[in-house]
A and B are shown apart, each in its own frame.
Chain A
Amino acid sequence: MSQTRNVGDVILNVENVSLAFGGVKAITEVSFDVREHEIRAIIGPNGAGKSSMLNVINGVYHPQQGSITFKGLTRSDVDSHEAAKQGIARTFQNIALFKGMTVLDNIMTGRNLKMRCNFLQQALWIGPARREEMEHRRQVEEVIDFLEIQHIRKTPVGRLPYGLQKRVELARALAAEPEMLLLDEPMAGMNVEEKQDMCRFVLDVNDHFGTTIVLIEHDMGVVMDISDRVVVLEYGRKIADGTPDEVRGNQKVIDAYLGVAH
């Protein structure tokens, strides 16, 4: 049932965005676009502003300058609830799971925007609330099967090893059925095997659901393998943008990476 991936029109356009924290300039006049169904990587040394960029895209940070256009809607200031409603989901560099909840409940929260029953119906656990819960449970189970985490469904996430936590976080994001998925270093800190699994999942998500993916990753091998186009940031500025091959040959990129020990 896998659809052939078809990179389409521009779905996200980041225009001339600048973001500063007090005196610290995290992002300076960065512009780039992301096309529908593509895997777009953002790379750059630590502190280059990559995570900040994702935070701007889904409304966690508010840029001082510039605009974001997602699916034709331009805004200078996104609110994270709006971004979620528009179909943007994400994972975090430092795992941001709900520690006190089970894997299943964590993933179920990913579907909150699709749930319609109010709290009174839920308190009474009457027909609609109950049906809704079952229906979403079924959908969540599909995500669970997809990411192969059936065995840990009922485990509190705090007890899971790091690699699995990252996978659960991806599951929670996927449960929202996003159009665009922002992944902040999904493979950081993983061993080779876990990395391979995660790579496969990212590609599968992109392939099966046609989800557009914006990915921050340090592992150059991975980036070059799976991404369609790459943005390179350094000190908050964009220094290169293009296909993996173009970026690899770019002198500025080579300098930036040689300057930093990895």
Chain B
Amino acid sequence: MLYREAGQFKTTYAEDQQIFPIRQDRIAMALLLVVAFVVVPMIANQYWLAAILTPFLILALAALGLNILTGYAGQLSLGTAAFMAVGAFMTYNFVLRMPWLGIIPSLVLAGLCAAGVGIAFGLPSLRIKGFYLAVATLACQFFVLWVLQRVGWFSNHSTSGVITAQKIVILGYEFVSPASKYLFTLAVVAVMALAAKNLMRSQTGRAFMAVRDMDVAASVIGIRMMGTKLLAFGISSFYCGVAGALYAFCYLGTVEPEAFSLDLSFRVLFMIIIGGVGSILGSFLGAAFITLLPIILSVLSGAFSHVTGIEISYAVLSNFELIVFGGLIIFFLIVEPQGLARLWQITKEKLRLWPFPH
């Protein structure tokens, strides 16, 4: 089937403003959802579900959160992991102290707590930009972890702030198997990605991009600088907060504040750089890439030693991974700042014209 919009005439603005205006995209999306919700849980083994697919989805959600702030609204942040930590620890506390709430309301409330912290640490963005703002969010990163380690209340006074996430229970059903945790994560991520897509194609998204692209022009047409930037911090941190909660509840199980170190913030940042800044698809591509890279490299090195007989040590491999990482980030920053998502878009544009080059 050719990929193009020929013959698909749009007679109303509603049709033109659909989430996926091209029919082939709609079909592809529907197929992807069927595969993710039905096929994958049936065929994937426990290792893939628990150790690869679930963390991939969670990190994609965090990347999406950061992308809303950095990619769409243009505010650089290194506090992603801190907002995730707030989400994780607050969900734990809501479930612990108000068990009658249920997991979903607890997640939402924890997300709102993360949003509150995000807005508070977003206040400097009204005055400072770029590098200096990044430093301010870095302060947030250290401050939040410090508080979580120091104030015993957050971890219910456990030693060194470790928490063990409670079981997720909805209407008596317990999400314990890797497949059920994967499905829970997938459902949350799908709903939130859809909401983000809607938001970014509405006035809020346009206001974010306007502030990012040209702040004077934005305020001259009546966009409020302060409200818009703080909203971006709030929404972004909400997403990161929920991602953090899933990280604790569906992936790690037992977490200490150190799991949400600066390292994680950088990993998420690299995901959006490689995947595509200012693209929802890019958040997923970047997360997939970074989650899969170590696996691909180890498979390749396995094949390499099998063919040549030279054994590659784990240390060499993990260093090699860092080199590939660094190289790719430099490549994307210089050559294709809009990342994999842009490469994908270029391919689609070519495909639209194919087989006629003009």
Give the B-binding residues of A (Cβ under 8 A): 58, 60, 80-81, 83-85, 89-90, 92, 96-101, 105, 108-110, 112-113, 115, 117, 119, 122-125, 129-130, 133-134, 137-138, 141, 172-173, 176
- B235 — which chain A residues lie within 8 A by C-beta? 119
Give the complex CA separation of A134 and B212 in angstroms. Answer: 25
- The interface centre, meaning the residue of B206, B212, B217, B278 with most chain A CB atoms within 10 A of its CB, is B217
Give the complex CA separation of A119 and B115 in angstroms. Answer: 14
Give the complex CA separation of A129 and B204 in angstroms. Answer: 11
Contact across chains for A96 and B198 when beta carbons are under 8 A apart: no
- The interface centre, meaning the residue of B213, B214, B221 with most chain A CB atoms within 10 A of its CB, is B221
Any chain A CB within 8 A of the CB of B13? yes
Give the complex CA separation of A115 and B16 in angstroms. Answer: 20
- A110 — which chain B residues lie within 8 A by C-beta? 221
Q: How many residues of B contact A (CB 8 A)?
A: 30
A-B interface, 5 closest residue pairs, ranked by CB to CB distance from nearest: A84-B222, A122-B202, A96-B217, A98-B213, A113-B222
Give min CB distance, B325 to chain A, whole Å.
26
Contact across chains for A176 and B214 when beta carbons are under 8 A apart: no
Contact across chains for A123 and B206 when beta carbons are under 8 A apart: no
Contact across chains for B17 and A109 when beta carbons are under 8 A apart: no
CB closest residue in chain B, given A89: B221
CB closest residue in chain A, given B226: A81
Give min CB distance, B6 to chain A, whole Å.
15
Write the B15-59 contact mask toward A (1 if CB under 8 angstroms, else 0). Answer: 011000000000000000000000000000000000000000000
Give the complex CA separation of A80 and B220 in angstroms. Answer: 5
Give the complex CA separation of A4 and B195 in angstroms. Answer: 48
Contact across chains for B223 and A109 when beta carbons are under 8 A apart: yes
Contact across chains for A81 and B213 when beta carbons are under 8 A apart: no
Contact across chains for A112 and B206 when beta carbons are under 8 A apart: yes
Any chain A CB within 8 A of the CB of B159? no
Contact across chains for B206 and A122 when beta carbons are under 8 A apart: no
Give the complex CA separation of A109 and B208 in angstroms. Answer: 10
Give min CB distance, B228 to chain A, whole Å.
10
- B278 — which chain A residues lie within 8 A by C-beta? 100
- The interface centre, meaning the residue of A97, A108, A110, A122 with most chain B CB atoms within 10 A of its CB, is A122
Give the complex CA separation of A61 and B224 in angstroms. Answer: 16
12 A–B contact pairs at CB < 8 A? A92-B216, A97-B214, A98-B217, A101-B206, A112-B206, A113-B222, A119-B231, A122-B198, A133-B202, A133-B203, A137-B17, A141-B13
Give min CB distance, B110 to chain A, whole Å.
18
- A100 — which chain B residues lie within 8 A by C-beta? 209, 212-213, 278
CB closest residue in chain A, given B219: A80
- B206 — which chain A residues lie within 8 A by C-beta? 101, 105, 108-109, 112
15 further A-B pairs in the complex, CB-CB below 8 A; given A100-B209, A101-B213: A83-B220, A98-B217, A100-B278, A108-B206, A113-B222, A119-B204, A122-B199, A123-B195, A123-B196, A123-B198, A129-B202, A133-B202, A134-B13, A134-B17, A176-B222
Give the complex CA separation of A124 and B14 in angstroms. Answer: 16
- B204 — which chain A residues lie within 8 A by C-beta? 119, 122
Contact across chains for B220 and A138 when beta carbons are under 8 A apart: no
Contact across chains for A109 and B221 when beta carbons are under 8 A apart: yes
Given contacts A98-B209, A109-B206, A133-B17, contact A124 B221 (CB under 8 A): no
Any chain A CB within 8 A of the CB of B134? no
CB closest residue in chain A, given B206: A109
Any chain A CB within 8 A of the CB of B210? yes
Q: Contacting A99 at CB < 8 Å: which of B196, B198, B214?
A: B214
